[in-house]
Amino acid sequence: MTLQEYDYARESPSKLAASCLLLALTMKNLGGWTPTLEYYSGYSAQDLHPLVKRLNFLLTYQPRDKLNAVRSKYSHRVFFEVAKVTPMDMLKLEERLTSS
């Protein structure tokens, strides 16, 4: 989704990937940013928090008329139906990020 959004072009690909991973871990309640993830990514959880919030906002307020083919593809069980995952409430996300 970020490939279609100019605002994300200035972010480094590694930081974007790390932020996506942290958002996914948080959304699925699979734990937080571990010392191992910090070491290998080079980013602390605090470095990623602003971008994680922006990504969740993008998921929450995405226009439904764009990227229909992508949404359809990733709604299939082969891709674990990730397009159907409900974005987190912004306040709940903030709470989880600050508690970890």
Max CA separation in the chain (angstroms): 40
Q: Residue 82: what pLDDT?
A: 84
Instruction: Output 53 or 85, whichever has higher pLDDT.
Output: 53
Asked if residue 58 is part of any domain, the answer here is yes
Mean pLDDT of all residues in 80-100: 87
Q: Is the pLDDT of residue 94 over 90?
A: yes
Entry pTM: 0.85
Asked if residue 1 is part of any domain, the answer here is no
Residues 6+ apart with CB under 8 A from 18: 37, 41, 43, 48
Asked if residue 45 is part of any domain, the answer here is yes
Domain count across the chain:
1
Asked if residue 32 is part of any domain, the answer here is yes
